[in-house]
Chains A and B, each alone.
Chain A
Amino acid sequence: MEEPRQKAIEICSDLQQPLKVEHIQTGLAADATLSFYRQGEFLDLCRGPHVRSAKTIGTAFKLLSVAGAYWKGDSSRQQLQRLYATAFWDKKELDQHLQQLEEAKRRDHRVLGRQLGLYETDDKVGQGLILWKPKGALIRQLLQDFILEHLQRQGYAQVFTPHIGKLELYKTSGHFPYYHDSQFPPLVDRDQIERMAEEGCSCAELANRMKAGQIDGYLLKPMNCPHHIRIYASELHSYRDLPIRLAEFGTVYRWEQSGELGGMTRVRGFTQDDAHLFVTEDQLPAEIEGCLELVKIVLGTLGMSDYRVRVGLREPASEKYVGTAEQWAKAEAACRRAAATLGVPFTEEVGEAAFYGPKIDFVVRDVIGRQWQLGTVQVDYQLPQRFELTYVGPDNAHHRPIMIHRAPFGSMERFIGVLIEHFAGAFPLWLAPEQVRICTVSEKSEVYGQQVERRFREAGLRVTGDYRPEKLGAKIRDSQLAKVPYTAVVGPKDESAGSVSLRDRVDGSQQTLAINDALAQLESEIAARQVRQVAAPSTPVESATEAHEY
C-alpha cells in the first residue's frame, strides 16, 4: 500500500518504529509517497517488490547466524542485531546450499591457517598484519619461486624497491591526495615536527597540515608503481629497449578500518605479485595477452582452471577519462581480444574501467563453487604523463610509453588464503610444507626410520619422523590431520627388505616400495607439480556472478 509522507510517519510512530521514522525523514526525504508491505497485522515500510502471498515463500528457508551491526553503519549509533538467513524454492536446493556452507566452514583459512601452523595474526603486532610462520612461509616462497620462474621466461626483470617514498613522489603519481583514505598517515620528518613543536603548533594544525600535504615526510607505499616508474626513468630508453617489464613481490600498506580486517583477505600490509610494463602502442595487445597467459599457467598448475575474467570498459559518453578516444579504442580492443584468446568465460562491463585505462579482473571459482576475485591487469595512460616518461622512437623523437600494471593474483596473502580454502589445507605434494612423515611401527624400528629419514632428506624432500611410543594408528591419523601427503610406515619387515610402506593421503592407497622406488615416485610427482585432489563433496549451487569480496 502507498501512503503520503506524513501519514507514513504517523503509521511508523504508532507502530513504535523510530528507526523507520528516522529513515523516512532522512534517507527517503525526497519521496512524496511511501510503500508498505502488509501481511495480516504486520506493516513494514518497504519499497518492494514482493510476492503476492506468503504462501509463495514456501518453507525452504533457514536462519543462519546472528551478528552485530551499527544502524546505518555508524559506530556512534546503536548496535543492532542482524539475523542472517537464506531461502530457496525447494528443500533440495536449501540442503545443498547448507552443505556448501558447512564445507566452507571446514575450509575457513583462518581456522586452518592456525591449526596447520601456517600463519598468525597477533594483537601485539597489530591486526591486519600477517606473521608468516615457517610452514606458511615455505608455501609462499615456493609459489613465488614458481611465479618468478615463469616471469623470467616471459622476459621480466626482478627489481627491489623500498617500503617508503617521499610525499613528493606520491603527489606526482596522484596517490596523494586521491588515495588518501587508503593510506597510513605520513611518516613525518622528525626535524620538522620538533620545529613545529617549538613554534607551539597545535594538534589540529598539525593534522590539517598533514592532510593538506604541507609537511615533508614519507608515505608507506600503498602501491609499487611510483618506485618502478622511477627505475624506468633512471635511464634513457630507445624503442628497441621496449617492452620493459619490471617485476617485484612488493609489499604495500593500506589503511583499512579495524572492524573490516580479517584473515588473509582483509589486511593492512600485503605483498603483491606486482609488475609494471612499459610498452609502445603496437606492443600493447601482445603484452596484455602475455600477462593473461601467465595467469593461465599458474592457475592451471594449481588445478584452478575454473575462472573467468571481467573486462572493465569506459562509459563512451563520459568526459572523465584520460587519453584519446583512439587510444581507448585500441586498448579496449586489445583487452577484449586478450580475454577472448584465454578461452574462459568473460564479461564486458561498461563503466568499470578506471579513469586512466581499461582493465581485466580475474575471478576464480574454488572447489566448492565459491567465487574469489583475485587481481587485475590494468592499462594506464595517466602515470606516464604525470611522470613525463619517454622513449626515443625510430624517428629520433621522444614518445610516451603506455604502462600496464598487473598483479594477477592480487597478493600472496589473499592468494594463499584462497588456496588454503581451495585445498582445505591439503596442499599438493610440491607445495606441502611437510611432504613425507616417517612413522615407526614400534621403537624397534627407530634406527631404521631415522636412516630412511636421512635418505629422504638428502634427496631433497621435506621429511619428518614420528618416533613416539604411540600406536601406529594414532600416528597415521595425526599425519593425516596435519595434511601430510604421504606417510611412510616402517617396521621390522621393511628394515630387512630396505623398503617403506607408503600411504597416500589423497586416495588412501598403500604401497610397499624399495626406498629408491619410493623416492623416484615422490620426486616425479613433485617435479610435475601434480595436483591430486579428492573430489568435492557437494556440487556448486550458486550460479551468481557476485564474487566474494570478503
Chain B
Amino acid sequence: MLQVTLPDGVIREFADSVTALEIAQQIGPGLAKAAVAAEVDGRVLGLDQPLPSEGGVKLSILTRKNPQSLDVMRHSCAHVMARAVMRLFDGVQLAFGPTIAGGFYYDFDLPHTLTEEDFPQIEEEMRRLSSWTNRSNVWRNRARKRSRSAATSSSP
C-alpha cells in the first residue's frame, strides 16, 4: 500500500504500483493534461516512472508553471537534438547532454566538424522529431533509409 500526500495535505492510498500520471488523472483530467513531470519526496521524476508500492511519499504534479518542469523539457530536448544529429551525420558517438543555466548542451564525437552552418538543418530535423508521434517516426525513418540507400548507388 502506497500512501501519497498531495500538496494540499490530502492523502491518497494506492494498492497497486502506480505512476505520477495515473495519480494526476485521478485528481483531474485538466491536471493530467497540463502535467509535465512530478516531484516525489523532493526528487523530480518522469510521469511514467512507477512509484514504490509500499510506504509513503510526498508528491506534487509539476506543470509549466513550475520552474523545474523547464529543466525536464530541456533535458528531453537535448536528447531530441542528439537524435537529430545521429540521423543527419554518420559515425556519431554520444557522450553526455545535461541541462545548464539558461539551456543545455550535448557532447558528440563525430568525423564531421559541426559548425553554425549545420544548425538550421539540425533544428529542422528536431522540429520534425518533436512534432510527430513516435509511431509515425519509426515508419518515416525506415522510408527515409530505404530512399537514401536507393539514391546512393556509389556506396559499397
Contact = CB atoms under 8 A, between A and B. Distances in A.
A30 interface: no
Nearest to A41: B141
Interface in B90-148: 93-97, 101-110, 113-116, 119, 122-123, 126-127, 129-131, 133-134, 137-138, 141
A409 B73 CA distance: 36
Given A54-B129, A81-B110, A71 B95 contact: yes
Contacts of A20: 94
B109 to A, nearest CB: 5
Contacts of A544: 101-102
A48 interface: yes
Interface string B59-70: 000001001001
B126 A61 contact: yes
Nearest to A89: B64
A69 B106 CA distance: 10
Interface in B44-89: 44-49, 64, 67, 70, 72-83, 85-86
Contact of B82 (A41, A44, A54, A97): A44
B37 interface: yes
A51 B95 contact: no
Contact of A62 (B36, B105, B123): B123
A84 B103 CA distance: 8
Contacts of A57: 73, 76-77, 80, 130
B123 A81 contact: no
A78 interface: yes
B129 A39 contact: yes
Contact of A50 (B76, B101, B123): B76
Contacts of A63: 81, 116, 119, 122-123
Contacts of B96: 23
B93 A49 contact: no
Interface residues of A, number: 49
A542 B102 contact: yes
Contacts of B64: 89
A44 B130 CA distance: 16
A137 interface: no
Interface string B31-51: 000001100000011111100
A89 B70 contact: yes
Given A80-B95, A83-B85, A84-B103, A61 B123 contact: yes
A83 B108 contact: yes
A337 B103 CA distance: 36
Which of A87, A88, A546 has the largest count of B CB atoms less than 10 A from its CB? A87
B108 to A, nearest CB: 5
A55 interface: yes
B21 interface: yes
Contacts of B107: 69, 71, 80-83
B46 to A, nearest CB: 4
A56 interface: yes
A42 B79 CA distance: 9
B102 A86 contact: yes
Contacts of B67: 543
Interface in A85-128: 85-89, 97
Given A63-B81, A89-B73, A51 B36 contact: yes
A102 to B, nearest CB: 14
5 contacts: A46-B79, A48-B45, A51-B46, A63-B123, A83-B108
Interface of B: 21, 36-37, 44-49, 64, 67, 70, 72-83, 85-86, 93-97, 101-110, 113-116, 119, 122-123, 126-127, 129-131, 133-134, 137-138, 141
Shortest 4 CB-CB contacts between residues of A and residues of B: A86-B103, A40-B137, A49-B46, A42-B83
Given A37-B76, A51-B73, A83-B114, 19 more contacts: A17-B94, A19-B93, A39-B129, A40-B134, A46-B79, A48-B45, A48-B49, A49-B37, A50-B46, A59-B127, A63-B119, A64-B103, A66-B115, A69-B107, A71-B107, A81-B107, A81-B110, A86-B104, A87-B77
